A and B are shown apart, each in its own frame.
Chain A
Amino acid sequence: AQRVTQPEKLLSVFKGAPVELKCNYSYSGSPELFWYVQYSRQRLQLLLRHISRESIKGFTADLNKGETSFHLKKPFAQEEDSAMYYCALQTSGSRLTFGEGTQLTVNP
């Protein structure tokens, strides 16, 4: 069965420091992975997907099939990056399986 694991529930960094939010998955098919972000009092929104290979708000994520990982990275964290981040895996029937989420806090 498919599974998404985000090992860190809480992550705290200082402004300007690099940040990496970890995501590992297990899935027998060809994975399609996403990162979603939820800022305080806002709705869940798509941050990026691996297929597009783009950088959004300075974040990037590379799919590593060998390590079954899709870690989210940003070289210089900003205070406005503080939010809840969810890694998600698309499976059959366009369904999404979410990880537990990582609460990122960027301290001034």
Chain B
Amino acid sequence: SAVISQKPSRDICQRGTSLTIQCQVDSQVTMMFWYRQQPGQSLTLIATANQGSEATYESGFVIDKFPISRPNLTFSTLTVSNMSPEDSSIYLCSVDYPGQTYTFGSGTRLTVV
């Protein structure tokens, strides 16, 4: 089964700064996704990370705020830019691995102070 390593697992950041979250998969995958889970709420898809092209963002999410890189088929990063306390959430990476259906990373718990 696909193994996803996500880091950092948690961080406390100052408002106005940026944090980059990394997602590493142990095998090549076509589809990689980034989700956000705000406190007490469900998961919301931020964007689909496409290898070799720009990410596809969902309504309400923009590239300037959440730039995403996907340099190859096993790695992606999500940056949360110019953070405010409202960005405090758990951010999760997910992959659609053939035969396994949407495996999730362990998440990054971000607190903005």
A residues sitting closer than 8 Å to B (CB atoms) are 34, 43-46, 49, 86, 88, 93-101
CB pairs A–B below 8 angstroms (15 shown): A34-B101, A43-B104, A43-B105, A43-B106, A44-B107, A45-B104, A46-B102, A46-B103, A49-B101, A86-B43, A88-B102, A95-B45, A95-B48, A95-B58, A100-B42
Q: Which of B42, B92, B101 contacts A46 (CB 8 A)?
A: B101
Contact in complex: B41, A100 (CB < 8 Å): yes
Interface size on B, residues (CB 8 A): 21
Judge whether A101 and B42 touch: CB under 8 Å. Answer: yes
| Contact indicator A94/B96 (Cβ below 8 Å) | yes
Q: Please state if A43 and B42 are interface contacts (CB–CB under 8 Å).
A: no
Question: Which residues of B have CB within 8 Å of A46?
Answer: 100-103
B45 to chain A, nearest CB (A): 6
Are A93 and B42 in contact, with the CB atoms below 8 A? no
How far apart sit A88 and B56, CA to CA, in the bound complex (Å)? 20
Known: A93-B56, A94-B31. A44 touches B45 (CB 8 A): no
CB of A33, distance to nearest CB on chain B (Å) = 11
Ranked 10 nearest A-B pairs via Cβ: A44-B104, A98-B43, A43-B106, A98-B42, A100-B42, A94-B96, A94-B31, A101-B42, A43-B104, A95-B45
Question: Which residues 1-53 in B have Cβ within 8 Å of A in the complex?
Answer: 31, 33, 41-45, 48
Given contacts A34-B101, A44-B104, 6 further A-B contacts (CB under 8 A): A46-B103, A86-B42, A86-B43, A88-B102, A94-B31, A95-B45
- Please name all residues of chain A whose beta carbon is closer than 8 Å to the beta carbon of B104 when the two chains form the complex: 43-45
Chain B residues near A93: list those with CB within 8 A: 48, 56
A101 to B27, CA, bound (A): 30
Residues from chain B with a CB closer than 8 A to the CB of A97 are 45
Q: Are A96 and B102 in contact (CB under 8 A)?
A: yes
Interface centre among B101, B104, B105, B106 (most CB of A within 10 A): B101
